[in-house]
Amino acid sequence: MHQWSERRERFRAILAGDVCVHPASVYDPISVRIAEDLGFEMGMLAGSIASATVLGAPDIIQLTLTEFADQAHRIGRAAGLPLMCDADHGYGNALNVMRTVTELETAGVAGLSIEDTLLPQPFGSAGRAELSSVEEGVGKMRAALAARRDPALVIAGRTSAPALTGVADTIVRAKAYEEAGVDAIFLVGIKTRDDLDAIAAEVSKPMILGGAGREIMDREYLAKRGVRICLQGHQPFMAAIQAVHDCMKALRDGVEPSQLRGVANDEFVKRVTRQADYSRWAKDWLE
């Protein structure tokens, strides 16, 4: 438990700081080790990427809580980076949110977000994303906080109101979730500086941004507006699946393995699999 609490304290230090960081989008043990080796301050496991990694399915809430927590644990135990998780809508109502917090806290995550989107999409929505009532959102935030056992675990209240219902509703929801006691506000879909300026003037908690517009992707500007974490997307996973496709296609087309480009060499594979550690342990305890 100590190792998880220590990571959570480091994550809280990011939120309490005065700079904005870009997290590494990670999806498995190797990717989080690469992020750690490159010096990222934290990792981010998105629900969409977990669904694609574990199931090969789109982001439509096919992944179960148990599968998500298992993948988060696999990532967390492979490296020392604090891991933030997108826990979607908490996999159900407020009581399900409590179970979600319990499972993800036990899995070792440093922080998690609970959002107020109606998920999975209800019958008759025609693919349009909709938000729950503010009251239901507040109930979920309060339930999440009540389920937390390690006070260092970060609970973020997340909303896509900036993209769906506008600035005014975003402010109402952010203030309500702040009053419920969340540690951070996670906002998805802010595209302009005017919108962020208006929201930042009303929000007192540290902010996390996802799906931000290019106009606001300036870390110094974001930091001054209270944004402490800004996602850049999930390009590492996209790059990985493209690389697998290109490699397999080349082999299928008759390219000799020795002629393939962009393939990790033995030294790099040994580093990310921590072979030196295993060799040392084997020498100490098997010889």
Tell me: the pLDDT tens digits for 204-228?
A: 999 999 999 999 999 999 999 999 9
Class of domain 2-239: alpha beta
> For the chain, which residues make up each domain, given as ranges?
2-239
Q: Is 248 left (phi over 0), alpha (psi -120 to 50) or beta?
A: alpha
Rounded Cα distance between 227 and 185, Å, is: 9
pLDDT less than 50: residues of the chain: none
Determine the pLDDT at residue 232.
Answer: 98
pLDDT tens track for 139-190? 999 999 999 999 999 999 999 999 999 999 999 999 999 999 999 999 999 9
Q: Helix 29-37 vs helix 235-252: angle between axes, to the nearest 10 degrees?
A: 120
Determine the pLDDT at residue 271.
Answer: 97
Instruction: Tell me the backbone φ, ψ of residue 88, rounded to 5 degrees.
Output: 50, -130
Question: In Å, how far are 100, 163, 282, 283 from 278, measured between CA atoms?
Answer: 34, 48, 6, 9
Determine the pLDDT at residue 1.
Answer: 60
